[in-house]
Amino acid sequence: MASHRRPKQPSRTRVTVLTTAAAAAVALSSQAANAAPSEKPSKDEVKAKVDKLYQEAEQATEKYNGAKEKQEKLQKEISTIQDNVARGQEELNELRDGLGSMASAQYRSGGIDPSLQLFLSADPDDYLDKASTLDQLSGQQVEALKKIQTKQRDLSQQRSEATEKLKDLASTRTELGKKKKEVQGKLSSAQKLLNSLTAQEKAALQAEEQRSTRSSERQVLSGTGTPASGRAAAAFAAAQSKIGTPYVYGATGPSSFDCSGLTSWAYAQAGVGIPRTSEAQTGAGTRISSMSDLQVGDLVFFFNDLHHVGLYAGNGQVLHAPRTGTVVRYESMGTIGGPFMFGVRV
């Protein structure tokens, strides 16, 4: 007869563990069911993030412009020094040839002139200092020796200066590359955010910008702004001729501009040279603290670090190259995205 054994009961510990695990699974399932799906950022939230990235890109752009300007200046200085060294070496060779000719003539007439020993000396400077006291040297030879000594020292100093500038140039090129990479990174991030918008949202943002631009144009046309000077009027007219031209970071015209590229180009058309970067342009003239004292053509600066500049257009409006994705246009000074700091009358 078969025996009937009672099934083995699970231990109390095992029951507790299983119960706890089951409860946790139920709780997680409940949370997952009740959790709201991650919400897509709204059009306005995307715009705010994009605007911030564009501001950061423009900050980096002005640093990039400064490094680029420094690089170009260093390259010109190095080229000038190298040309001077080359000419100086030719002059030194001519001086040595002349002295050598005098020494050869004396040798042929009997005896080695002390000046000839200059070319055999391990320490020319020391020899020159001693030789200048020798009675055997003619006045003409002494003068030639002194010129050689001076020219050698000048060339040595110029070569040292060129070496230091070449080091500075290498450092500047490294900085330029970093800033360019930073700008491109910010712009890439902004584009990704814009790509997340629907076609309808993109159209709405574009329509908002167009309405703002048309409003600013009406304000300029209805204003009674007086140019700060004839040169300011000419610069402003030059900038007006570029309305609709695209913004491109690092560009100075005539087919594209960044903010300081537009202002420096506009004043150049008026025959006035001003610095390349927005920060440097703050020293291009007389500072105007009050917005009410601004006149058409004055430079106007925004943000605490002065990374944005435009031309005052009258009636509270600015003519500027705003940022990537836009064109040269009029805009209310109150919608730039950063505070007006001051103006400069060139």
Q: Is 54 a catalytic residue?
A: no
Catalytic one of 276, 308, 323, 329: 308
Q: Is 115 a catalytic residue?
A: no
State pTM to two decimals. Answer: 0.70
User: Is the pLDDT at 139 greater than 90, yes or no?
Assistant: no
Catalytic one of 70, 151, 307, 320: 320
**Which of 9-23, 165-179, 289-303 ranks highest by mean pLDDT?**
289-303
At 149, the pLDDT band (50, 70, 90 cuts) reads confident
| Nearest residue to 301 (alpha-carbon basis) of 333, 253, 264, 324 | 333
At 321, the pLDDT band (50, 70, 90 cuts) reads very high
Q: Is 307 a catalytic residue?
A: no
User: Is the pLDDT at 115 greater than 70, yes or no?
Assistant: no
| Nearest residue to 118 (alpha-carbon basis) of 129, 107, 108, 109 | 129
Residue 212, both tokens: 């703002």
At residue 238, the 3 state secondary structure works out as: helix
Catalytic one of 99, 162, 232, 259: 259
Could you count the other beta carbons within 10 Å of the beta carbon of residue 312?
A: 29
| Nearest residue to 291 (alpha-carbon basis) of 302, 282, 280, 283 | 302
Q: What domains can be seen in the chain, in order of their start residue?
A: 43-194 (1.10.287), 198-345 (3.90.1720.10)
pLDDT digits (tens, 9 = 90+) for 207-266: 988 898 898 888 888 776 788 899 999 999 999 999 999 999 999 999 999 999 999 999
User: Letter for the amino acid at 267?
Assistant: Y
At residue 276, the 3 state secondary structure works out as: coil
pLDDT digits (tens, 9 = 90+) for 70-108: 999 999 999 999 998 998 888 888 877 776 666 665 555
Average pLDDT score, the chain: 82
| Nearest residue to 326 (alpha-carbon basis) of 181, 213, 185 | 213
Is 216 in contact with 332 (CB distance < 8 Å)? yes
User: Letter for the amino acid at 311?
Assistant: L
Handedness of CA 162, 73, 62, 174 (dihedral sign): negative
